[in-house]
Amino acid sequence: MRALILSDIHGNLEALNAVLEAAGSYDVLWNLGDVVGYGASPNETVERIRSLAQMNVRGNHDRVCCGLASAVGFNPVARAAAMWTQKEMSEVNRAWLAAVPQGPLHPEGFPGIVLAHGSPLNEDQYILTMRDAWGPLQQSGTLITFIGHTHLQGGFCQHSEEWHELHPRYETPNEVESWVLDLTQGTRYLINPGSVGQPRDHDWRAAFAIYDSEAESITFHRVPYDLTAAQGRILMAELPEKLALRLREGR
């Protein structure tokens, strides 16, 4: 079974379309949250994910943009985007987003797998360092937990007394690339597929991952997309210019 894992699309339709085209064949699609916020195509991205994903986990921007939570804790740029998105989304899409469950979720047919947005312990927690990963890995009863939220592709793993950070290695900027992680028995993993719509690891390309349960591997991917069109949508919507500029910078 092959699972396509997406996270942090953030209303970037051009990036989402490029990822879906590059992903090839898969059996299920898992969405780890933050379908909207920042980008200027909230309705289109929600509708594509609604039609394709078998499992969805809500993200913090999803929660705010559909009206379940306040934007008070967001910085001014994120708040402006969330308020615009809330008004721009159709009633049907807002209702769908409001019904998306909080993680962690256990996908049927994939024993030992958990899906979350920030952390399986707290949906809003950022797992950025080994210190952050220690608690979730120690307390996890599953082999692999897929998370998003940080917009950083990679992850962490623990085997007995050994702890490691995982960083995909790419060599050809601006082109399609992939990096395979072969899974080791007896090891627990926290895996972030990276952000589809707003990467923050200084690589502007859209990020995603594919989990292959039979091959016992996770393949990380990066794909270029129509960046100019995504930026143009943001500027035409009169969203903060910073949201367009940061897409090129990958941060």
pLDDT, residue 161, reads 84
pLDDT, residue 139, reads 83
Domain count, the chain: 1
pLDDT, residue 5, reads 98
Which tokens sit at 8? 């942090």
Q: Which stretches within the chain are classed as H helix?
A: 13-23, 42-52, 60-65, 76-88, 91-99, 130-139, 227-236, 241-249
pLDDT per residue as tens digits for the range 120-179: 999 999 999 999 999 999 887 789 999 999 999 999 999 888 899 999 999 998 999 999
Which tokens sit at 219? 């393949």
CATH number at 40 reads: 3.60.21.10
Share of the chain above pLDDT 90, in %: 92
Residue type, 230: A
**Within 10 A of 172 (CB to CB), how many other CB atoms are there?**
8
What is the residue-averaged pLDDT of the chain? Answer: 96
Over its C-alpha atoms, the chain yields an Rg (Å, rounded) of 17
Mean pLDDT confidence for 91-97: 97
What 3-state class would DSSP assign to 11? coil
DSSP state of 105: B
pLDDT, residue 14, reads 98
pLDDT, residue 67, reads 94
97 exposed, middle or buried (CB, 10 Å; 0-12, 13-18, 19+)?
A: buried
Q: Which stretches within 89-161 are classed as H helix?
A: 91-99, 130-139
Which tokens sit at 239? 């969203």
Domain of 19 in residue numbering reads as 2-249
For the sheet with 177-182, list strands across it: 55-56, 28-31, 2-6, 206-212, 217-223, 177-182
